Amino acid sequence: MALPSSHRSSWFILLIVVLASVAGPLNQFKAPPVLRLLMDAFAMPTSKAGLFMSVFSFAGLVLAIPGGFIFQRLGYRLTGLVAVLALVIGAAVGAVTLNAGTMLMSRFIEGIGNSFIGMVAPAVIALWFTVEGRGKAMGIWSAWVPLGSIIIFSVAPFLATRWNWQSVWWFGCMYALCVGLLFYLFISPTPPEMAAIEAAIPRQTHTRSGLQGVLRNKDLWLISCLWGCFSFSFTSFLTWAPTFLRDVHGFSLGGASFLMSVMAMLGIAGCPTAGWISDRMRSRKFICVMPMLAMLLLWPLASVAGSTTFPLVAIIIAFLAGFPPTGVFSAASELVGEERSRGMAMGVIQIGQNTGLLLGPVVFGLIIQFFGGWSAAFWALVPVTGAGIVCGWMAKIK
């Protein structure tokens, strides 16, 4: 059920949700463009440098199901404000510390914020948009990750070159603070129409039945596994590609970050394209599985591509990566019927997502240092992506 609202107000809600959501990946991906500076500042070897990304995701894994309960208790407005506040605090703590342990703790706090944003945004969109237009809305929102990436990959080299890596952290803090203010001003509490519906349902009964239904949904878990495999592969690539370009192909910090920005732009283009195709074909499975199949074939090519070929391969991968998010979040929202159960459904999706985000960068870094170098690391993404394709094909989604 979608709330009665004007077409314009629904799209305005989407705009605010997108701007607030961008604060998550913007702070998440501020580490890769300055990863070498962080490794030097905190004396981190290659095998452990992936922790700057993985600890961020560990928070989301820990809070996946509890976060669903919190969402049900607080509602989307308060949960969204908690999310932005966690990003502000985490970024500020990270900016002022020179201790590796404190830095990792700050990344965990930021991860809490990103986790809650990932629950709130799809639920709000599902609430304000009908099934017929939900694919387009989800496709636009799915650009939050590449959009956050392109912003931070564009500004990080400039800031780090002039004021060191701490300025990148302060930028993330201030952005989160500004969009948090917008979220507070323009995202209203639950509208009267939905409040009346929720008031008629006993909270305890709704929470218990909703949890049981979501956790027993096999297709939702299969989609979560697909999302985890995608997150493992693509986040590993995003995290280590700038270092790969610098160490193997001799790119400068600015050159590597520029390529990552171009990748993010193509990812942004892929997201609404995926939403349009999904609504036209009325198929979530197609836009999840087929792009991942193409990515599976491109991982080995990326490992052997030259300095001129690698950017082309990376751009194609980035465009394809804009498709699965739209399918995953649309399918997850549609697999559970009740509005308030969607927060719990996003919790299940985040179990897969954050497992992939947690393991991917660390495993990739370990393979680089101990098990065969860059080529072996890229090849390791093939079976992981293949497992995601199988899960998506088995899931009974339209």
3-state SS track over 272-322 = HHHHHHHHHHCCHHHHHHHHHHHHHHHHHHHHHCCCCHHHHHHHHHHHHHC
Q: Tell me what the pLDDT averaged over the chain comes to.
A: 80
More confident residue, 97 or 337: 97
Q: What pLDDT does 69 receive?
A: 74
| Domains of the chain (ranges, CATH numbers) | 19-187+207-394 (1.20.1250.20)
Summarize the confidence of residues 180-206 as an average pLDDT.
59
Residues 205 and 234: their CA atoms lie apart, in Å, by: 39
Of the ranges 100-109, 215-224, 237-246, the best mean pLDDT one? 100-109
Give 6's pLDDT tier (boundaries 50, 70, 90): very low
Residue 120 predicted with pLDDT over 60: yes
Q: What pLDDT does 196 receive?
A: 45
Contacts 24+ apart (CB under 8 A), 214-218: 214/68, 214/336, 214/341, 214/344, 214/345, 214/347, 214/348, 215/348, 217/335, 217/336, 217/345, 217/348
Q: What pLDDT does 353 receive?
A: 83
Summarize the confidence of residues 30-59 as an average pLDDT.
81
Q: What pLDDT does 210 receive?
A: 57
Per the listing, tokens 């985490």 go with 90
Residue 7 predicted with pLDDT over 70: no
Q: What pLDDT does 339 receive?
A: 56
Residues 341 and 334: their CA atoms lie apart, in Å, by: 11
Residue 383 predicted with pLDDT over 80: yes
Summarize the confidence of residues 352-368 as an average pLDDT.
84
The residue count of the chain comes to 398
Summarize the confidence of residues 88-98 as an average pLDDT.
92
Q: What pLDDT does 206 receive?
A: 46
Per the listing, tokens 């404190």 go with 102
Q: What percent of the chain has pLDDT over 70?
A: 85
Which residues have CB under 8 Å from 58's CB, separation 6+?
Answer: 108, 111, 354, 358
Summarize the confidence of residues 298-316 as an average pLDDT.
86
More confident residue, 124 or 260: 124
Q: What pLDDT does 197 receive?
A: 41
Give 34's pLDDT tier (boundaries 50, 70, 90): confident
Residue 23 predicted with pLDDT over 90: yes
Q: What pLDDT does 343 receive?
A: 66
Residue 239 predicted with pLDDT over 60: yes
Summarize the confidence of residues 150-170 as an average pLDDT.
88
More confident residue, 8 or 147: 147
Q: What is the pTM of this model?
A: 0.71
Residue 95 predicted with pLDDT over 60: yes
Q: What pLDDT does 5 receive?
A: 43
Number of other residues whose CB lies within 10 A of the CB of residue 294: 14
